[in-house]
Amino acid sequence: MYDNIIAQKIAQQYKQQPLTDFVNVKPETPLNTLNLNWRERDLPEFQRTKHVHRLHPYLGKFIPQLVEIFLRKYRPTLVYDPFVGSGTTLVEAHALGIDSIGTDISVFNVLLSKVKTDDYNIPILEKEIYDILNRLNTYKSKFSKDEKVNKLFSSKNEYIQKWFAPNTQKELLCYVRLIKDYTYQDLLKIVLSRSARSARLVTHFDLDFPKEPQTKPYQCYKHRRICQPVEEAYKFLSRYTIDTFDRVKEFSELKTKAKAVVNHADSREVELPKGIDMVFTSPPYIGLIDYHEQHKYAYELLGLKNNEAREIGPAKNGQSQRAKSDYIKGINDVLIHTRDYMAKNALALIVVHDKYKLYNPVDAGFKEIGRVERHVNRRTGRREGAFYESILIWQKI
- In this structure, are 236 and 266 located in the same domain? no
Q: What CATH code is carried by the domain that includes residue 357?
A: 3.40.50.150
pLDDT over 70 at 61, yes or no: yes
Mean pLDDT of 146-171: 90
- In this structure, are 235 and 279 located in the same domain? no
Residue 376: predicted pLDDT: 87
144 contact partners, CB below 8 Å, separation of at least 6: none
User: Measured between alpha carbons, how far is 35 from 296 in angstroms, rounded to an integer?
Assistant: 37
Last residue of a domain, one of 227, 251, 275: 251
- In this structure, are 83 and 187 located in the same domain? no
DSSP-derived secondary structure letter, 29 = S
277 contact partners, CB below 8 Å, separation of at least 6: 76, 77, 78, 79, 342, 343, 346, 347
Tell me which residue range forms the domain holding 305. Answer: 2-117+257-396
- In this structure, are 113 and 127 located in the same domain? no
- In this structure, are 244 and 369 located in the same domain? no
Last residue of a domain, one of 232, 251, 270: 251
Do 338 and 101 form a contact (C-beta atoms < 8 A)? no
Mean pLDDT of 288-309: 93
Q: Identify the sign of the CA torsion 319, 322, 324, 329.
A: negative
- In this structure, are 214 and 326 located in the same domain? no
Q: Which of 182, 273, 178, 186 is nearest to 233 (CA)?
A: 178
- In this structure, are 284 and 322 located in the same domain? yes
Going by their DSSP bridges, the two strands 260-264 and 366-376 should be labelled as unpaired
User: Measured between alpha carbons, how far is 34 from 74 in angstroms, rounded to an integer?
Assistant: 13
Last residue of a domain, one of 230, 251, 272: 251
Going by their DSSP bridges, the two strands 260-264 and 276-281 should be labelled as unpaired
**39-53, 183-197, 215-229, 383-397: least confident range:** 383-397
Mean pLDDT of 28-35: 96
Helix (H, G, I), strand (E, B) or coil at 367: strand
- In this structure, are 78 and 146 located in the same domain? no
User: Measured between alpha carbons, how far is 162 from 92 in angstroms, rounded to an integer?
Assistant: 38
User: Measured between alpha carbons, how far is 83 from 86 in angstroms, rounded to an integer?
Assistant: 9
Mean pLDDT for the chain overall? 93
Do 234 and 136 form a contact (C-beta atoms < 8 A)? yes
pLDDT tens digits for range 170-182: 999 999 999 999 9
- In this structure, are 341 and 284 located in the same domain? yes
Residue 150: predicted pLDDT: 77
Amino acid at 297: Y
- In this structure, are 104 and 201 located in the same domain? no
pLDDT over 70 at 384, yes or no: no
pLDDT over 80 at 372, yes or no: yes
Kindly give the residue spans of alpha helices, DSSP state H, lying in 200-315: 234-252, 296-302
Measuring CA to CA, how many Å separate 1 from each of 4, 8, 284, 338? Answer: 5, 11, 25, 33
- In this structure, are 275 and 372 located in the same domain? yes
Q: Which of 144, 15, 131, 82 is nearest to 270 (CA)?
A: 82
pLDDT over 50 at 2, yes or no: no
- In this structure, are 286 and 239 located in the same domain? no
Angle at CA of residue 10, ends 8 and 15, nearest 5°: 105
Count: domains in the chain: 2
Mean pLDDT of 286-309: 93
